[in-house]
């Protein structure tokens, strides 16, 4: 459908609401998986290996799901069946995760959970390109950032809030009851938010449904999907290749924060030397609160991004925001008390709001609408590949280059994000140029 009608604010709200649930799941994982692994006896230098589930499942799942959803049409539409299936499986994994009795069980559940979250998330990105005209796509992706911020804030802060409310004690595995309850709440929130989008938002059918079905009936499903992904790589727009550089340094940086920030707070700020101590629990929970701060800032600033993009351009916004994030992570070195950490996390929140929107807005303007799903899936390879590189590289350099210190890992992440900010300069924003030529502004 080439001439897409403009949607109202609340229609865009409904189609994006499922991201609140998706990010509730991601947020619980980001703030709690390293502590869970430590409670179950993991070695600190091996943590990046245990985090490989996210990037590797994304590497395998997202391009395939993107191509499959492009070729799907059911009573629920094109993307919504994938929302629903992924949400059900992910919610089950969230219920099981804090009940893990051994390291292998937690790691296995993470693989299944991340695969199912990726099944849900990738079509949500294509959904914006499907439903919205070019001039509304910035708002569409920013709305997703808004819900990502809310979901993550609630997820990150929930264990700390539960402890504050009097939830105490630990299970036999050492995992706190506050973590258990938080994951149960997360499972319900994930499924409920996705169901809201599924039942409040419709989809545009293919313009020629019979031609669409005949095309999909030709050849095998697997062969068609592999061909579609291969053609997407072959025909990749220049803008997408340029964004790949930005994405590499951005997503090489972020795992250092997710994997090592909570441990950094426990060691560097709270002074914990024992992973079984009260100080370690307090420090890692405070790390979750700091994650909540960056996600709170994300949804507070999300709606400031479109008007700012009108003034300084979409590239200018992304450069500014990534710079704030890089400096925010580096500032962790100077944290003398827990509250100082919030300043750095505010910078990360500004970066996060842009990371979750600007690259997708720029990309959507450079690709053909009928291939939106497969290209969004392929684009996510530029998110997962740097995470895979980071996961294999970090254990090799953790004891030597990083001096066995989680703080140094966080600092390296900050430096990588600053490199990402500089690399935005090479990107050509084709979509913005097209809007300006048409006289529509950003």
Cβ atoms of residues 388 and 253 within 8 Å = no
Give the pLDDT confidence of 416-426 residue by residue, as tens digits: 999 999 999 99
Burial of 430 (0-12, 13-18, 19+ CB in 10 A): middle
Question: Which residue bears the tokens 């959970």?
Answer: 113
Percent of the chain residues past pLDDT 70, beyond the cut: 92
Percent of the chain residues past pLDDT 90, beyond the cut: 35
pLDDT at 156: 84
pLDDT at 212: 67
- Which is more confidently placed, 16 or 129? 16
Tokens for 224, please give them. 């068609």
Give the Cα separation of 130 and 387 in Å (integer). Answer: 28
From first CA to last CA, the distance across the chain in angstroms is 21
Residue 170, strand partner residues: 176
pLDDT at 436: 41
Q: Sorting pLDDT into bands at 50, 70 and 90, what band is 435? A: very low
Domain ranges of the chain: 9-438
Residues 6+ apart with CB under 8 A from 43: none
The CATH number of the structural domain formed by 9-438 is 1.20.1250.20
pLDDT at 332: 95
- Which is more confidently placed, 330 or 229? 330
pLDDT at 439: 35
Tokens for 123, please give them. 């079509």
Q: What is the mean pLDDT of residues 51-80?
A: 79
pLDDT at 2: 53
Give the Cα separation of 370 and 133 in Å (integer). Answer: 14
pLDDT at 327: 98
pLDDT at 208: 64
Does the structure show a pLDDT above 80 at 120? yes
pLDDT at 126: 78
Q: What is the mean pLDDT of residues 223-237?
A: 77
Give the pLDDT confidence of 273-317 residue by residue, as tens digits: 777 778 888 888 899 899 889 888 987 888 788 889 888 988 999
């Amino acid at each position: 459908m080439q001439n897409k009608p403009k949607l109202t604010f609340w229609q865009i709200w409904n189609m994006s609401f499922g991201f609140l649930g998706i990010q509730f799941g991601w947020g619980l994982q980001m703030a709690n998986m390293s502590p869970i692994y430590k409670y179950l006896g993991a070695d600190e230098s091996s943590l990046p290996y245990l985090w490989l589930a996210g990037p590797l499942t994304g590497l395998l799942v997202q391009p395939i799901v993107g191509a499959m959803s492009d070729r799907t049409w059911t009573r629920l539409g094109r993307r919504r069946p994938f929302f629903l299936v992924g949400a059900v499986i992910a919610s089950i994994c969230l219920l099981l995760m804090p009940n893990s009795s051994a390291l292998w069980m937690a790691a296995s559940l993470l693989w299944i959970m991340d695969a199912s979250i990726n099944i849900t998330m990738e079509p949500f990105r294509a959904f914006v390109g499907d439903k919205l005209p070019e001039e509304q796509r910035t708002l569409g992706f920013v709305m997703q950032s808004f819900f990502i911020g809310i979901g993550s804030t609630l997820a990150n802060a929930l264990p700390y809030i539960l402890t504050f409310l009097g939830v105490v004690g630990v299970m036999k595995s050492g995992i706190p009851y506050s973590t258990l309850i938080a994951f149960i709440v997360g499972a319900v929130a994930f499924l409920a938010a996705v169901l809201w989008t599924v039942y409040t938002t419709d989809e545009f059918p293919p313009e020629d449904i019979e031609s669409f079905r005949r095309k999909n009936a030709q050849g095998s499903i697997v062969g068609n999907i592999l061909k579609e992904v291969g053609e997407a790589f072959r025909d990749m727009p220049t803008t997408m290749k340029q964004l790949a550089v930005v994405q590499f340094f951005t997503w090489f940086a972020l795992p250092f924060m997710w994997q090592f920030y909570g441990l950094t707070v426990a060691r560097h700020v709270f002074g914990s030397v024992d992973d079984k101590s009260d100080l370690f629990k307090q420090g890692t929970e405070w790390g979750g609160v700091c994650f909540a701060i960056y996600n709170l800032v994300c949804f507070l600033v999300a709606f400031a991004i479109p008007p700012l993009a009108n003034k300084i351009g979409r590239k200018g916004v992304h450069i500014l925001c990534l710079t704030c994030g890089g400096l925010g992570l580096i500032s962790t070195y100077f944290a003398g008390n827990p509250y100082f950490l919030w300043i750095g996390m505010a910078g990360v929140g500004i970066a996060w709001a842009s990371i979750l929107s600007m690259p997708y807005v720029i990309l959507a303007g450079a690709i053909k609408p009928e291939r939106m799903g497969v290209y969004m899936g392929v684009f996510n390879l530029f998110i997962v590949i740097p995470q895979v590189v980071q996961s294999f590289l970090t254990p090799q350099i953790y004891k030597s280059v990083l001096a066995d210190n989680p703080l140094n890992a966080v600092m390296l992440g900050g430096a990588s994000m600053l490199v990402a900010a500089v690399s935005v300069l090479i990107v050509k924003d084709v979509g913005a140029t097209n809007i300006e030529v048409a006289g529509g502004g950003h």
